[in-house]
Structure 1
Amino acid sequence: MLQDKRILLIIGGGIAAYKSLDLIRRLRERGVRVRAVMTRAAAEFITPLSVASLTGEKTYTELFSLTDEAEMGHIRLSREADLVLVVPATADLMASMANGNARDLATTALLATDKPVMIAPSMNVQMWLHPATQRNLRTLEGDGVVRVGPGSGDLACGEVGDGRLADVMDIVGAVETFFSATARATDRPLTGRRALVTAGPTHEAIDPVRYIANRSSGKQGYAIAQALAALGAETTLISGPTTLPDPANVFTVRVESAREMLAACQAALPADVAVCVAAVADWRMADGSPQKIKKNGGGPPSLKLVENPDILATLSARSNDRPGLVIGFAAETQNVVAYAQAKRDKKKCDWIVANDVSPGTGIMGGDDNTVHLVTADAVEDWPPASKSAVAERLARRIADYLKEPAA
């Protein structure tokens, strides 16, 4: 997705500037060509030499450098990129951008560019919430600037709140999404197709306050729904309980239990492809308590469990309206590929996407994934990537499979 893309990275002068070094490394791992411009304030936190060592390119710092202007003028520097990325975007940099200031190399390059601009703000919570900053933000977004973050949490100044620089992998994911969206503007091979995606956990009630569930953030399923919609598919996302916002251009149905998820999937048919990513609880209470179960001094209560419906197997076994392509996910802690192959045979689905979720991988709830695509004929070992990149690649494989025109 990012191979040979060119990014001009503007590094602002904030404590979060040190994270730009990891960002450069992550972008370079994905084949991005990075050039960097540093403000003078940024050089108080990290050195131009560190940046140059990671980019493999000269780091630019001065507007009135005869050598730099002769080798790479600021106009050319600002336009020989596919994207201008500002990390961290300080309150001062945002103010300069919003008001069209050109007082140093960074702000001059930003004013002179004719390329898309993305910012990742980072600052003190009160600076972020100040009316002037919010006014500048509205101006920038009105000008078409794309924003990533900020997040909320402990800040370097000791305060807590909004203003924390977005995680590096979230920024990488936003860059991947930007380029994929740009490519898809004229490339929508799934137009006319219908897609069904399940995501997140299910909650099976024990009583009104307790439930049985699996550890799933829903991030991979949501990314797949977004990727399919971006390729033109009319996409329905059936989501268990998550904290994620509804993906853009996706019809999202929120459910709680496995039985509700199955009913919603059946109501969404017919579909050309079904991607079952949800971590559905295998069991539920035979008879959930209508009131909170209280301790009675006699030890833990006896919970009688029954098996939940198998959504993947049910969709795979349908006759009249079976999706043309049914894909399951297998999260395993050992024998990942072997168990996935056995699951594909048992469920009668077409493909299985297997991933290792053993302790220490960080995949459950994380932003990255390493998967294996198991088909009837082969096993494809995909390299580690962000969940958005995995979604993009899977959506493309689905589009290739369904390349015949929709009826």
Structure 2
Amino acid sequence: MWKNKHITFFITGGIAVYKVVELIRTFQKAGAEIRVAMTKTAMQFVGKSTFQTISKHPVQTDLFDQTTSAAVAHVELADWTDLAIVAPATANIMSKMANGMADDFVSTTLLALSVPVIVVPAMNVHMWNNAATQRNIQTLRNDNIQVMDPDNGPLAEGYSGKGRFPSNDEIFNYIVEQTEDVDNSKLAKLRGKKVLITAGGTREYIDPVRYISNKSSGKMGYALAKVAQENGAVVTLISANVKLPIPAGIDVIQVETVEELAQAVQTQFVSTDVFIMAAAVSDYRPVHFVDHKIKKSADSANLTLELEETTDILKSLKSRRTKQIVVGFAAETNDLLNNAKKKLDSKGADIIVANDVSQSDIGFGSEDNAVTILQHNATNIKVAKANKQIIAKKVLEVIVKRLS
């Protein structure tokens, strides 16, 4: 259930902060990947270095402390998160959440979330029973945020009452109960769907040792394949000249040229539910292939290549489509949105994912990307710079909305 699930702990100020260390370990043992954000008051109880050590990720504490390469750190963390746990949750953070306040890193990120949120309060009994706190709790529950009741027991003030942070086992079991009957993943509809993805860059040979190609590493296509497979899709990956580890559980077809890629796509397409053309395909190939290495000639200082267009794979599928959702990529260096819109209109695709490959930090071979997702009769969706795994998740979320 928790394997590879992205869980973010939002830790706010209270004596129970130290108990969250073991709670995080409980979820890690179950297979979850953890990140942490803390308020400044939380750090008065336990330093962020403790949580950095156990989570193996930088701990976010300040809106203006750039600990990641993301342009907007709180949005990147919100996009990464599959499940948010606020623990221990103070009366203050619940008030902020109930009223939509965003005045520090934790509250700002919580406001940017679009995933399930579970709140585990801990505070003095009188603060818990205060009418304002109870109103805020009711507002959160009305907003479909799960708020766990605290325990009755000894409090830090030296007397007993309701407000004690529950045991780790109680919290873990509560969260399991809240999530086990409902698949909260936005990608749940991928389960059992056949997804065909192309990745990498094709080669068109001039002679046995030289070819026309591009700088595509295949990382975006492989990220899409990995995320789709992790969410239950049956994935076939057509890989063109990629030097990446073959993902476990994914059927990989190796190709080299545009024609080989086109043939593999045509063969697989008929039984596909979703087709994602992430490969960078050569637009031209030499008209004539020379079967030996071309030597420099003393008679001529120049070599002229006559080129012809290669098969337009996306366009060729227009007449063969039945139920398939078709997604293309537009890797552009200028006039990004206009060129992507032309591609959307001409290729017969449902979705075009546009990215500016002229920027070295999001271009070919980089670990990150930033894209704009175009659809017919819909507002463009801009996805800020993030790791390609996160970009893949966002693209697949758009695709899933189109699945019947």
Category of TM-score, reference length = shorter chain: 0.5 to 0.7
State the partner residue of 2:292: 291
Distance 1:79-1:249 versus aligned 2 partners, 3 A rule: same
Q: Tell me if structure 1 keeps the 8 A contact 2:276–2:327.
A: yes
Q: Which residue pairs with 2:276 in the alignment?
A: 275
Structure 2 stretches lacking a partner, 5+ long? 36-45, 58-67, 71-75, 84-114, 116-175
Contact map agreement 1:191 1:232 (CA 8 A) in 2:
yes
Q: 2:21 aligns with which of 77, 80, 86?
A: 77
Aligned to 2:340: 340
Q: Deviations over 1:247-274 (max 9, x none)?
A: 2221111100000000001111221111
Distance in 1, matches of 2:396 and 2:369, equals: 15
Q: Which amino acid aligns with 1:393?
A: K
| CA distance in 1: counterparts of 2:290 and 2:344, whole angstroms | 36
Unaligned runs of 5+ in 1: 7-32, 35-56, 59-67, 88-104, 111-116, 121-166
Give 1:318 deviation, angstroms. 2.6
Which residue of the partner structure matches residue 370 of structure 2?
370
User: 1:3: Cα distance to partner?
Assistant: 8.8
Q: The residue matched to 1:5 in structure 2 has which SS? A: strand
Q: Which residue of 2 aligns with 1:222?
A: 222
Q: CA deviation at 1:78?
A: 2.8
Identity rate, percent: 32
Change in CA separation of 1:312 and 1:242 when aligned onto 2, cut-off 3 Å: same
> How far, CA to CA, are the matches of 1:3 and 1:190 in structure 2?
18
Quote the residue 1:400 is aligned against: 401
Contact in 1 for aligned 2:371/2:383 (Cα 8 Å): yes
Shift of 1:353: 0.6
Q: Distance in 1 between matches of 2:400 and 2:390?
A: 15
Pick closer, same or farther for the CA change 1:258–1:227 going to 2, 3 Å. Answer: same
Q: What one-letter code is carried by the residue in structure 2 that aligns with 1:233?
A: A
2:7/2:81 contact within 8 Å kept? no
Post-superposition shift, 1:299?
1.4
Q: How far has the Cα of 1:231 moved from its partner?
A: 2.1
- Tell me: CA distance 1:245–1:318, structure 2 relative to 1, closer, same or farther (3 Å): farther
* Partner residue, 1:5: 8
Distance 1:262 1:118, change over 3 A: farther
Q: Is the 8 A contact 1:205 1:212 kept in 2?
A: yes
Q: Distance in 2 between matches of 1:192 and 1:250?
A: 13
- 1:314 is aligned to 316
The alpha-carbon distance between structure 1 residues 302 and 364, as it changes in their structure 2 partners (threshold 3 A), is same
The CA distance in 2 between the partners of 1:274 and 1:118, in whole Å, is 36
Deviations 1:329-383 (A, max 9, x none): 0011111111111111111211111011124444221111111111011211122
Q: CA deviation at 1:236?
A: 0.9
Cα gap change, 1:178/1:201 in structure 2, threshold over 3 Å: closer, same or farther?
farther
Decide whether the 8 Å contact of 2:194 with 2:273 is kept in 1. Answer: yes
Work out the CA distance in 1 between the residues paired with 2:202 and 2:33: 38
Counterpart-to-counterpart distance in 2, 1:168 and 1:338: 28
Query: Would the aligned equivalents of 2:362 and 2:385 in 1 still touch at CA under 8 Å?
Result: no
Q: Which residue of 2 aligns with 1:384?
A: 385
CA RMSD of aligned residues (A): 3.8
Could you say which structure has the larger radius of gyration? 2
In the alignment, the residues of structure 2 paired with residue 309 and residue 118 of structure 1 have an alpha-carbon distance, to the nearest angstrom, of 48
Q: TM-score, normalised by structure 2?
A: 0.58
Q: Does the 8 Å contact 1:177/1:388 carry over to 2?
A: no
* Matched residue, 1:300: 302
Conserved? CA contact 1:367–1:387, under 8 Å: yes
Whether the 8 Å CA contact 1:274–1:323 is kept in 2: the answer is no
- Partners of 2:8 and 2:81 within 8 A in 1: no
| Contact 1:2–1:176 (CA under 8 A) maintained in structure 2 | no
Output the CA distance in 2 between the equivalents of 1:71 and 1:229: 38
Query: For residues 220 and 323 of structure 1, do their structure 2 counterparts lie closer, same or farther at Cα, with a shift above 3 Å needed?
Result: farther
Where has structure 1 moved over 3 Å in runs of 4 or more?
1-4, 70-73, 80-87, 117-120, 175-180, 182-188, 359-362
How has the CA–CA distance of structure 1 residues 215 and 306 changed in structure 2, closer, same or farther, with 3 Å as cutoff? same
CA contact (8 A) 2:8 2:34 kept: no
Alpha-carbon distance between aligned partners in 2 of 1:257 and 1:326, rounded to the nearest angstrom: 21
* 2-structure distance, mates of 1:219, 1:249: 17
Secondary structure of the corresponding residue to residue 275 of structure 2 = strand
Q: How does 1:166-315 map to 2 (within 5 A)?
A: 188-269=188-269, 270-297=271-298, 298-315=300-317
- Matched residues in 1 for 2:268 and 2:212: separation? 26
Measured in 1, the distance between the counterparts of 2:267 and 2:33 equals: 43
Asked if 1:325 corresponds to 2:325, the answer is: yes
State the Cα distance separating 1:284 from its structure 2 match: 0.9
1:207–1:290 contact (8 Å) kept in structure 2: yes
Q: Any conservation in 2 of the 1:199–1:221 contact (CA below 8 Å)?
A: yes
2:341 match: secondary structure = helix
Alpha-carbon separation, structure 1, partners of 2:335 and 2:24: 47
Q: Is the 8 A contact 1:328 1:351 kept in 2?
A: yes
In the alignment, residue 218 of structure 1 is paired with which amino acid?
G
Residue 357 of structure 1 is matched in structure 2 by 357
